[in-house]
C-alpha cells in the first residue's frame, strides 16, 4: 500500500529509448505539499520523469501514480482532467512569441474553458500580479528579459490554480538576481497555495536552499535521497562529487566503449 501522504509515486518504474535503458526500477514517493527536487547529471532521465508524471510517456515497466491513480489505466478524458490540476514551467519558458504577456497567460483559459472575458481578464491580472509583472501585460516576449520570461511562464503555469507544479530546470540561463526571484516565488507559492512542487535541476546551491527533499538520479537509479542536510552528510563519494562539482571522482567521464587500443588496432569497427 502507498502511504497516504505520497501524492506522486514511481513504483518500480523503468523506461528507455530504443535499446538504451534510461530509468531502471525507480521507487520514489513525493509527498503532498512539499518541494521535491530531482537532481542528477545531464541525460540521466530527469525531464523524462516529468513527462511520465504528466502522462506524456508511459513506463515500459512499473506504475506512475498521481493521487493514487495509475496513469496508464486512465481514459484519455480522465488524463486530460488530471492534467488540468498540474502546472508546468518549461526550461525554455515556451511563450508564444506572437502573443503579448497577457495573451500568453490567458491562452489556457481561452483554450480550455468557457469563462467570460471579464473573468479571464481578472484571473490573468491576478496571476501576473503574483509574479510581479502586472504592469508588463502588454509587452511582447521579445521585450522581456530571461527572468521576466520565466515569471510569465510561471504565471501561466498557475493560471488554473493547480495542485501540482513541475519546474523543468527553472534557473537555467538566469542571472543571480533573477534566480533569487524565481527561488522566492517557488517557495512562496508552494507555501501560500499548498502546492506540491517538483523541480528538475542540477543547480545544486539553489535547490538545496529551497527543497524539502532531494532525489539524486544516476544511471537510471536512485543514488541518494533525503533532505538537503542529509545529503550533505552522506558518505557516498559519487554524491559528494556531484554536490561539489568536482571533476575528479567516481562519476564517469568517458561514455562506455571498447578499449582504445582495440579501437585503434583491432580488426573490427
For residue 253, pLDDT over 80 is answered with no
Contact 170, 150 (CB under 8 A): yes
For residue 165, pLDDT over 60 is answered with yes
Q: Cα angle vertex 14, ends 8, 68, to 5°? A: 25
Q: Can you give the pLDDT at residue 267?
A: 61
Give me the residues paired with residue 19 across strands.
none
Q: Can you give the pLDDT at residue 114?
A: 95
For residue 228, pLDDT over 80 is answered with yes
pLDDT band, very low/low/confident/very high, at 1 (cuts 50, 70, 90): very low
Q: Cα angle vertex 53, ends 16, 208, to 5°? A: 95
pLDDT band, very low/low/confident/very high, at 5 (cuts 50, 70, 90): low
Calculated CA dihedral for residues 153, 88, 210, 246, nearest 10 degrees: -100
Q: Quote the mean pLDDT of the chain.
A: 90
When pLDDT is averaged across residues 127-150 and rounded to a whole number, the result is 96
Residue carrying C-alpha cell 505520497: 6
Contact 1, 68 (CB under 8 A): no
Give me the residues paired with residue 89 across strands.
167
Residues 6+ apart with CB under 8 A from 250: 237, 238, 241
The upper half-sphere exposure of residue 260, i.e. CA atoms within 13 Å in the direction of its Cβ, equals 2
Of 257 and 217, the structure prediction assigns the larger pLDDT to 217
For residue 251, pLDDT over 80 is answered with no
Contact 64, 11 (CB under 8 A): yes
The residue among 175, 124, 126, 109 whose CA lies nearest residue 148 is 175
Residue range 74-112, pLDDT digits in tens: 999 999 999 999 999 998 889 999 999 999 999 999 999
Residue range 198-213, pLDDT digits in tens: 999 988 889 999 999 9
The cell for 179 is 534566480
The DSSP H or E segment spanning 37 is: strand 35-39
**Angstrom distance (rounded) from CA 157 to CA 91:** 12
Amino acid at each position: 500500500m502507498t502511504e497516504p501522504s505520497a501524492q506522486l509515486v514511481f513504483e518500480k518504474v523503468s523506461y528507455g529509448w530504443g535499446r538504451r535503458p534510461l530509468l531502471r526500477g525507480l521507487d520514489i514517493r513525493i509527498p503532498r505539499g512539499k518541494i521535491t527536487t530531482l537532481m542528477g547529471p545531464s541525460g540521466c532521465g530527469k525531464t523524462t520523469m516529468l513527462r511520465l508524471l504528466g502522462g506524456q510517456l508511459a513506463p515500459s515497466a512499473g506504475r506512475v501514480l498521481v493521487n493514487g491513480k495509475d496513469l496508464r489505466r486512465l481514459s484519455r478524458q480522465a488524463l486530460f482532467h488530471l492534467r488540468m490540476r498540474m502546472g508546468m514551467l518549461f526550461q525554455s519558458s515556451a511563450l508564444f512569441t506572437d502573443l503579448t504577456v497577457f495573451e500568453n497567460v490567458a491562452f489556457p483559459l481561452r483554450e480550455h474553458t468557457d469563462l467570460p472575458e471579464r473573468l479571464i481578464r481578472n484571473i490573468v491580472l491576478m496571476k501576473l500580479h503574483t509574479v510581479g509583472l502586472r504592469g508588463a501585460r502588454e509587452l511582447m516576449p521579445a521585450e522581456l528579459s530571461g527572468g521576466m520570461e520565466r515569471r510569465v511562464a510561471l504565471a501561466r503555469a498557475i493560471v488554473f490554480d493547480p495542485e501540482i507544479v513541475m519546474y523543468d530546470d527553472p534557473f537555467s540561463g538566469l542571472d543571480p538576481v533573477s534566480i533569487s526571484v524565481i527561488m522566492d516565488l517557488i517557495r512562496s507559492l508552494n507555501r501560500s497555495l499548498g502546492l506540491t512542487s517538483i523541480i528538475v535541476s542540477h543547480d545544486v546551491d539553489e535547490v538545496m536552499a529551497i527543497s524539502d527533499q532531494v532525489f539524486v538520479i544516476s544511471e537510471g537509479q536512485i543514488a541518494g535521497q533525503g533532505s538537503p542536510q542529509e545529503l550533505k552528510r552522506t558518505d557516498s563519494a559519487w554524491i559528494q562529487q556531484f554536490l561539489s562539482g568536482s571533476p575528479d571522482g567516481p562519476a564517469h567521464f568517458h561514455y562506455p566503449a571498447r578499449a582504445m587500443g582495440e579501437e585503434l588496432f583491432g580488426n573490427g569497427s
